[in-house]
Amino acid sequence: MSYTLYFLPQLGLSMEQVQERFTKDQFPSNDEGSISPELQASILHSLSASSLDVSQSPLEKGYSLDFSSFQLVVSPNHLRLDLPYWEENTKTTTKQKLRQLFNILQHHKLVGIDPQLDKIVEDPDEIFSTFEANQKLAAEVMGERPIL
């Protein structure tokens, strides 16, 4: 089980418009809302210039950026952050990495979307509080002791 966030270019879209974008497989290359190859390259350059340790794996449509305990999938229409409900992801070092990643994505004018709450995420602290609340629920569902 994971907490998932999506990142899209900031276009002033409503949540309904954002959800419609997720149903499309591919955007035309001239669509201003797409994650263009140039934007992808710029994000990769920023990540490589940062202190974040990340490996890249190709996918059919895009690639996966694998961090030590979470993953960012880059596709032509959005970026998807998958944050598993692991104990490691509650640690301060992981939060620092996520904050740094969030700042890089915001620098590239991408906005975070929480599809479960139907809201825009503007601050990495929102990610942490939602993640921790969801983690407790996930532990209860799985019959495990919550990680505090």
The string of pLDDT tens digits covering residues 78-128 is 899 999 988 788 888 988 999 999 999 999 989 888 888 888 888 888 888
Give tens-digit pLDDT for 3-20.
Answer: 899 998 877 777 677 667
Alpha-carbon distance of 88 to 68, in angstroms, equals: 9
For residues 25 and 92, the model is more confident at 92
Model confidence band, residue 27 (pLDDT cutoffs 50, 70, 90): very low
Mean pLDDT of 53-81: 91
- Residue 57: beta bridge partners? 64
Residue 106's pLDDT is: 92
Share of the chain above pLDDT 70, in %: 84
In whole numbers, what is the pLDDT of the chain averaged over residues? 82
Q: What are the distances in angstroms from CA 3 to CA 25, 41, 44, 125, 141?
A: 22, 26, 23, 14, 15
Q: What are the distances in angstroms from CA 101 to CA 17, 24, 28, 71, 132?
A: 25, 25, 27, 11, 18
Q: pLDDT at residue 147 above 70?
A: no
Residue 19's pLDDT is: 64
Residue 49's pLDDT is: 92
- In this prediction the pTM is 0.81
Q: pLDDT at residue 148 above 60?
A: no
Residue 55's pLDDT is: 92
**Residue with structure tokens 């983690």?**
135
